[in-house]
Structure 1
């Protein structure tokens, strides 16, 4: 089981690849949680005609990025990346940013 520390809605930064440095919120995770779809990153503009899309043409289609190539942005220090940790508060397990200790919502 591949449990991901990055969830839908988190703001992430691409740390490697051709889109290195770009940021955006996570729109969707793949079923096995090994790839993420980041808004505004890694889009393909040319689409071939297929059975589902008869026309094809120039359209923006999101392509997934491997989860190892993105890092979570710290909610306190904007722009800096951080790792995710866990802490139990009031009997609930919450995600925290390792860099600042802030709770990730």
Structure 2
């Protein structure tokens, strides 16, 4: 069965808040998006320990902490203007389409 690319409601660089799971309530920036798997990697959220054997590049080896992907359905966009989680509306302007906060109506930054 081939992986189907899903529409993900957040982009790389967006501020999001985790709404369910062990990290519920945490906020962070989206570092990576995996549309085929429907998952996102968020800064300082879902930290896992990676046990690494010594190698040529890492002669010491050891235990490292890194962010693991979580389902995109478990996160919601966070508006920094109204300090709330929100859904996204798309409005047409002369410059093109822009994403807008549903609660306060402010344009969401399009950071990459």
TM-score by length of 2: 0.80
Identify which of structures 1 and 2 has the higher relative contact order when contacts are C-alpha pairs closer than 8 Å and 6+ apart.
2
Q: CA deviation at 1:23?
A: 0.5
Shift of 1:95: 0.8
Structure 1 stretches of 4+ with a deviation exceeding 6 A read 50-54
Provide the secondary structure at the position in 1 that maps to 2:13.
coil
Unaligned runs of 5+ in 1: none
RMSD (CA atoms): 2.2
Bigger Rg, structure 1 or 2: 2
**Unmatched runs of 5 consecutive residues or more in structure 2:** none
Question: If the length of structure 1 is used for normalisation, what is the TM-score?
Answer: 0.85
- Matches of residues 87-98 of structure 1 in structure 2 within 5 Å? 87-90=91-94, 92-98=96-102
